[in-house]
Structure 1
Amino acid sequence: MLLRLLFVLLIALNIAVAAWLLLGESGSHAVEAADKGVPELKLLTELPVAATTAALPVPSSVGVAAKPAQASTAVAPKTTLASAEPAAAAKHPAETAAASPPPKAVAEAAPPSAPELPPAKRSYRCLAVGPFPTQVDLRNTRAALAAHTVRSRQRQEQTTESHGWRVFLPAQETREQALAQAKRLEAKGIKDYFVVSAQGELQNSVALGLFHDPANARKRRDEVIAAGFPARMSERTETTPVWWLDVVVPDDANSEIRRAVRTPGATARPTGCF
């Protein structure tokens, strides 16, 4: 009896379950899953294809990709959090760079370098280089000093040069008087004379000699005076042009100036600046 009763109960239970499955609600809940006004959560796999494509980030714009990431946070927390990190890094690159530790090469401070000292100021002076007998000598010296010269100029001057000493008798009024005086010299045993006939201050004078050494000139003059003639002695000079080079050079250019000045008699002397 007991076995029959159990068998009947099992059959009745199976019939009740089958009836509930056929006639009951298909997946409907008797109680709402959330409060009113709250959107229903859906998985990404349940969304339509168009909505899934729109939720993907767009590479050409950072702002467009960030909005779907925020919207997908409510739908799928795990998927949204994973995709939100690159979007946040793209939206705030400065904050991401600040949060990341600095590289080792940047973290190590470079040793301070020694400060550069300003170049020492050079002092200059003005020199007059010369005299040069020709302009060729001046140009050669100017070219040799060009690398050390701040500025330069050339100038010409007239100089009086000594060409010896002359001994003579004063000029006579006429040539005949000069010739008569010469004959009297010869009678006294004085030779080596010459009657000047050329135009000038010494015309009709009697030249008694030209000497480079003034001592020899004085000796000749004294001999003629002892013979009774008014002999005189004067320096023979000539005015010639010379050239000077005025330069402004550094104070430490002494050796360069000495090498550049090769003309005999030319020197470098201080002068007024220009």
Structure 2
Amino acid sequence: MLTRALIVVLVILNLGVALWWLLRGEPVSEPAASPVGVAQLEVLPATQAPPAAATPLNAAPALPAVTPPAAPGAPPQATTAVADAPAPTAVASAPAPAPVAAVPAPAAAPAAVTATPTPRPAHCVSLGPFADRAAAQAAQSRAGGALRGARLREVADAGATRYRVLLPPAASREEAQATVKRIVAAGVSDYYIIAQGEETNAIALGQYRNREGADRRLAALSAAGFKATMVASGGDGSAQWWLDATLADGTDAAVARQRSGAAQQRSLECARLR
């Protein structure tokens, strides 16, 4: 019976302690004691804070007034409430402009390369034959721009069956032999020195059955620096006229012959027209 009474009492005591613990307030901490002789700052309540004035960037912030400590033994002075100085207002600076990326200049378009056409070699022709000089001049007029550098040429022995190319007779045999050495050095072959007759010490450089072959031989000798002549034989003594010229660019020899009215066209060494 006594044990039950003790248990009931302990339970009531525990409940009372727990109820007291729950209903007690937060402990209020006492303010720390301020040191003697140090002025206290009090913050006065303000109904509305004045607008902060813009403070220049280079202006130094205002320092709060500090009351010097009172001398020992002196009566305490009235504490002056100092309002907090407004904090300096940061002036928002304009953001620096972003650097402009350098735009590369457009590359210059490569210049169109124009291929220079290779000039075509000159082509020279001999048109004819014509009965007289007047007929050859008329043919030159009809050809017009198809021919360049045209020149009339008379052939004394039109009916010749042979054409000989030779250098005029030298003053002596020794001089003729010296000329032969020059001919050999120039790469010319088919030659001999005439030893008798009216053409003694002349140098024969070939005999041809047609005039075209003789003309080519004359042109090669002229290019090598030799002044050879052509002698026709076997003709009736009649004369013919030929029109020697260089074909204009893009002109065919057959077209030039048709325009001039010539019966024949022959290839001609252009060196003979210089």
Q: Would you tell me which structure has more helix in proportion to its own residues? A: 1
Query: TM exceeds 0.5?
Result: no
Alignment TM-score, normalising by the size of structure 2: 0.27
Q: Would you tell me which structure has more strand in proportion to its own residues? A: 1
Alignment TM-score, normalising by the size of structure 1: 0.27
* Structure with the greater alpha carbon radius of gyration: 2
